[in-house]
């Protein structure tokens, strides 16, 4: 049985990583606070960022090494908000020390890392989740409302892409080793949307990845992430999905995500769902505004799970599914063939 708490305020929470790019450490702690939990500790290896953290949360415990924090602090739940290649190791350290963990997306880089994290959480009887806050984005909440009502019939295909032309930046996100690759940052959010839309088992994954065009011009040289990638997934229902990510596409796709069903197509725009159907030879296009983003519900659900036993929405097994696709796609692109999924 997972260790539980009488009330949310009893859950002492902390973050590992207080980066300045998007100020995600502060965002997590504020959302945890909004869900009634108690901000207690911050661990950050960068001295300047640790100073900023102490200023933002006066009186909070600060640490410059996770091992030190786990030894000295009685913090119960930790969010890991660090570069992708450090998620698994830090999570394992925390889970083995009996702490609940919410790992930022992507949960990890490989399926094997996810498996090890899930096993460690089970052994320590603690919760392991992933910060898939975009599960509650208005763009997917709106799309799911229409899809569930049958607005486009049964799902045939999901096409998604974030493509543009431009030299990758010199931050860790464009290092293949640290990020996992071009498909791991936004790609994991898009796959998490896709898996909500296609409620079926993953059968097979094909990955196509091109590298070397931008590599000579970046800080990482041969460790630069891919220039272009395409992932196709076959599902048991007969549906399939595609995901394209590119830094070399000169004319980028204006449609972020398009869902084609047996009765119509739904285009997911940031502000609205556009539903296109055909009736009596006429094309009918309807645009329906999306509901607001509700990403804060993630920590509310975690707090409710730990205090009232409410069902966890983002389970570790759910978060492993997009990672399994990304991992198989990486392997598939190297082998030049489709690979069968182990986790459906």
Ligand X SMILES: NC(=O)c1ccc[n+]([C@@H]2O[C@H](COP(=O)([O-])OP(=O)(O)OC[C@H]3O[C@@H](n4cnc5c(N)ncnc54)[C@H](O)[C@@H]3O)[C@@H](O)[C@H]2O)c1
Q: Is 263 helix (H, G, I), strand (E, B) or coil?
A: coil
The DSSP symbol for 2 reads -
Spatial strand order in the sheet of 264-268: 282-289, 272-279, 264-268, 257-261, 155-163, 240-246, 228-235, 202-210, 339-340
Interacting residue with ligand X among 2, 10, 19, 248 (CB under 6 A): 19
Residues 41-60 touching ligand X, rule: CB under 6 A, are 43-46, 49
Q: How far is the CB of 182 from ligand X (least distance, A)?
A: 13
**Of 20 and 153, CB closest to ligand X:** 20
Name residue 275's beta-bridge partners.
Answer: 266, 286
Residues 133-162 touching ligand X, rule: CB under 6 A, are 133
Residues 170-229 touching ligand X, rule: CB under 6 A, are 185
**Of 171 and 217, CB closest to ligand X:** 171
Q: How far is the CB of 156 from ligand X (least distance, A)?
A: 29
Q: How far is the CB of 83 from ligand X (least distance, A)?
A: 6
Q: How far is the CB of 37 from ligand X (least distance, A)?
A: 18
C-alpha closest to that of 40 among 64, 57, 20, 23: 57
Q: How far is the CB of 53 from ligand X (least distance, A)?
A: 9
Interacting residue with ligand X among 8, 11, 13, 16 (CB under 6 A): 16
Interacting residue with ligand X among 11, 13, 24, 118 (CB under 6 A): 24
**Of 18 and 136, CB closest to ligand X:** 18
User: Which residue's CB atom is positioned nearest to ligand X?
Assistant: 19
The DSSP symbol for 67 reads H
* Burial of residue 19, with CB atoms counted within 10 A of its CB: 0-12 exposed, 13-18 middle, 19 or more buried: middle
Q: How far is the CB of 49 from ligand X (least distance, A)?
A: 5
- Alpha-carbon span 222 to 307, nearest angstrom: 48
Q: How far is the CB of 321 from ligand X (least distance, A)?
A: 17
H-helix segments, 84-185 = 87-96, 111-124, 138-148, 176-179
Name residue 283's beta-bridge partners.
Answer: 278
Region for 168 from its dihedrals, namely left if φ exceeds 0, alpha if ψ lies in -120 to 50, beta otherwise: beta
Residues 74-133 touching ligand X, rule: CB under 6 A, are 81-84, 86, 90, 104-105, 131, 133
Contact 81, 29 (CB under 8 A): no
Binding footprint of ligand X on the chain (CB under 6 A):
16-22, 24, 43-46, 49, 66, 81-84, 86, 90, 104-105, 131, 133, 185
């Amino acid at each position: 049985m997972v260790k539980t708490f009488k009330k949310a305020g009893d859950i002492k929470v902390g973050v590992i990583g207080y980066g300045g790019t998007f100020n995600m450490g502060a965002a997590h702690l504020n959302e945890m606070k909004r869900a009634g939990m108690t901000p207690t500790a911050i661990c950050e290896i960068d001295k300047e960022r640790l100073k900023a953290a102490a200023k933002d949360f006066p009186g909070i415990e600060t640490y410059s090494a996770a091992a030190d924090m786990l030894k000295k602090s009685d913090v119960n739940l930790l969010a890991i908000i660090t570069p992708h290649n450090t998620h698994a190791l830090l999570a394992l350290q925390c889970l083995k020390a009996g702490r609940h963990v919410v790992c930022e997306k992507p949960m990890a880089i490989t399926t094997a890392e996810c498996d090890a994290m899930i096993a460690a959480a089970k052994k320590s009887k603690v919760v392991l989740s992933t910060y898939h806050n975009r599960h509650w984005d208005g763009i997917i909440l709106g799309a799911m409302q229409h899809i569930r009502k049958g607005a486009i019939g049964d799902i045939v295909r999901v096409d998604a892409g974030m493509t543009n032309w431009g030299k990758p930046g010199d931050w860790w996100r464009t290092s293949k080793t640290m990020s996992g690759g071009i498909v791991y940052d936004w790609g994991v959010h898009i796959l998490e949307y896709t898996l909500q839309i296609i409620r079926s088992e993953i059968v097979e994954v094909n990955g196509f990845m091109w590298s070397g065009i931008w590599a000579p011009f970046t800080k990482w040289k041969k460790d630069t992430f891919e220039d272009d990638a395409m992932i196709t997934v076959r599902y048991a229902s007969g549906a399939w999905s595609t995901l394209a990510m590119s830094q070399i596409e000169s004319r980028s796709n204006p449609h972020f995500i398009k869902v084609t069903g047996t009765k119509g197509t739904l285009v997911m725009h940031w502000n609205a769902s556009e539903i296109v159907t055909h009736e009596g030879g006429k094309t009918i296009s309807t645009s329906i505004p999306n509901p607001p983003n509700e990403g804060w519900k993630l920590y509310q659900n975690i707090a409710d799970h730990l205090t009232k036993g409410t069902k966890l929405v983002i389970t570790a097994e759910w978060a492993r599914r997009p990672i399994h696709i990304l991992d198989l796609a990486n392997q598939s692109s190297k082998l030049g063939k489709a690979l069968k999924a182990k986790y459906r």
